Structure 1
Amino acid sequence: MTRTVTDSNPEIGRSVVAAGIRTNYHDHGSGAPVLLVHGSGPGVSAWANWRGVLPALARDRRVVAPDVVGFGYTDRPADFVFSHRTWVDHIVGFLDALELPNVSVVGNSFGGALALRLADQHPDRVDRLVLMGSVGTRFEITPGLDAVWGYRPSVANMAELLALFAFDQSLLGPDLARLRYEASIRPGVQESYAAMFPPPRQAGVDAFALPDAALQALPHETLIVHGRDDRVIPVASSIRLNELIPQSQLHVFNRCGHWTQIEKATEFVHLLDGFLPS
């Protein structure tokens, strides 16, 4: 059962119970369904991650974007144990709740790792894959990713993280750090976030990595997108994914950091329009 939430906060959309968890999500357009899975930045939500491209992507297809459990405005059960298995179970429950047996999936960073796990464990639920700055292979954790996962709330720390994400620093308006900091200190948010990626954080990278054999067995058409100047997830990760996934193609944007969907929004939508069904 779904319901629409009326609230002045644009991050709050509709609500549905998925895998027993009241889940906040956005649902736009009609046509072939596409699932957007956000990244793992502190204080992130589906709306914060995808708001710049969601309307354009929904022109010719139905686009759904949930707050994955532990993030945004989805409930945080006190006994929930965060892992790629439980996150994938939540995503499957979300698709079941919306009666979507098969979707294309666009995953950003951490969301790309969940998209890969979903495709590996439930291949029949996935049509096409888009992986953007994705985790999913083994690599030595970058100082940028270590800083993101090790975030401790302050406006200054948030400003430093935002500077890591963007190649084009002009995108960082004077109020953005404070707004994202305030999102990161809502009740329960930092407690959940600290439990997701405890040190040593290299273990988190390794836990999200699929075995080479599993990547080589993926049957899905896959578009891999990365910013050449990404300081959070190394572009070598996407190059390796492209080497291993049989039906994959790789597009690398120059003068672009970890925020492909923001820094190259028009080009990103154009790529997806040519790749995703409508």
Structure 2
Amino acid sequence: MTTHTELPAMRESLLDIAGKKIFVAEAGEGPPVLLLHGGGPGASGVSNYARNIAELAKEHRVIVPDLPGYGRSSKGIDPTDPFGHLADGIRGALDRLGLDKAHLVGNSYGGACALRLALDTPDRVDRMVLMGPGGIGTTRALPTPGLNSLLDYYTGDGPSRRKLEAFIRQYLVFNAADVPESVIDSRYRDSIDPEVVAAPPLRRPKSLRALWRMDFTRDARLSRLPVPTLVLWGAEDKVNRPSGGRMLAERLPDCDLYMVANTGHWVQFERAGLFNRLCADFLAGRR
């Protein structure tokens, strides 16, 4: 299995969606699967899934967008409905790519995007893999220390490499030594893009309505969602509580749950071999 940063040759394009741009990179042929990245500072699609793309591309057409607000995509997110904004952008990308339906794989913010897209338009989603998705029980407890660290990155004294390294090593992963300095350097450079600093894509909700809209466990559609779903959750996740995995398993009608021991919020990075095998088997129907 691919466990290191071994990327295949990738096709790149910039899609125009209602006047906004979404960057996508692609590899492989076969059933389409979109890999949706998390919302941490400096995140982007290919960097988030660098240890997974080559393996998944053996059987699939792997499509890796930069979510709206990140990477080479247009900046700015609707703060009153961020999950809906992300889902609309990715649905627009499906339209531009000529895809009626695709598998969705989403980590954290990308998991929330995938889940919202599936709830709004379940006919567009074949199978779904969620890793520590956002929006699960978020109104039922105070934010975790990891989530607070993430949301505070652009506030106070502003972004810095020190703040980013603290977030990644203390909260994003279980074993801090697993993250190379080059990953932190790259993400820090991307996090201080002036357009991103002016309009951070992930921030605290400014209204109670927006907050409640971002908690999927309060959405009655969840218990009727027909999309087969695999949930992978790091047992030591300090950003989104692992109890969210059980919440999803209890509410979704067709959901497998895998709790990953000695793993934090970044399952696809920390346990790449396990993730690649489970994800490929699930998407191919080898449950």
TM-score, normalization: structure 2? 0.86
Aligned to 2:4: none
Alpha-carbon distance change, 12 to 143 in structure 1, aligned in 2, over 3 angstroms = farther
Identity %: 35
1:75, distance to aligned residue in structure 2 (A)? 2.0
How many residues align structurally?
Answer: 266
Say if 2:281 is the partner of 1:274.
yes
Match of residue 241, structure 1, among 220, 242, 248:
248
1:159-178 residue pairs with structure 2 within 5 A? 159-163=165-169, 164-178=171-185
Aligned to 2:203: 197
1:87, distance to aligned residue in structure 2 (A)? 1.7
Native 8 Å contact 2:127 2:227 kept in 1: yes
- Give CA-to-partner distance per residue, 1:207-233, whole Å, 9 cap, x none: 322235211010111100000001001
Alpha-carbon distance change, 205 to 148 in structure 1, aligned in 2, over 3 angstroms = farther
Aligned to 2:6: none
1:71-110 residue pairs with structure 2 within 5 A? 71-76=70-75, 81-82=78-79, 83-110=82-109
Match of residue 214, structure 1, among 221, 226, 251:
221
Aligned to 1:45: 44
Say if 2:114 is the partner of 1:112.
no
Native 8 Å contact 2:233 2:260 kept in 1: yes
1:134, distance to aligned residue in structure 2 (A)? 0.9
Native 8 Å contact 1:32 1:61 kept in 2: yes
1:12, distance to aligned residue in structure 2 (A)? 9.7
1:9-24 residue pairs with structure 2 within 5 A? 13-24=12-23
Native 8 Å contact 1:27 1:65 kept in 2: yes
Aligned equivalents of 1:175, 1:114: Cα separation in 2? 28
**Which amino acid counterpart does residue 156 of structure 1 have in structure 2?**
R
Aligned equivalents of 1:200, 1:11: Cα separation in 2? 39
Consecutive unaligned residues in structure 1, runs of 5 or more: 1-9
Aligned to 2:239: 232
Match of residue 164, structure 2, among 155, 158, 167:
158
Native 8 Å contact 1:27 1:64 kept in 2: yes
Native 8 Å contact 2:234 2:266 kept in 1: yes
User: In angstroms, what is the RMSD of aligned CA positions?
Assistant: 2.2
Aligned equivalents of 1:202, 1:179: Cα separation in 2? 35
Aligned to 1:144: 146
Consecutive unaligned residues in structure 2, runs of 5 or more: 1-8
1:204, distance to aligned residue in structure 2 (A)? 6.4
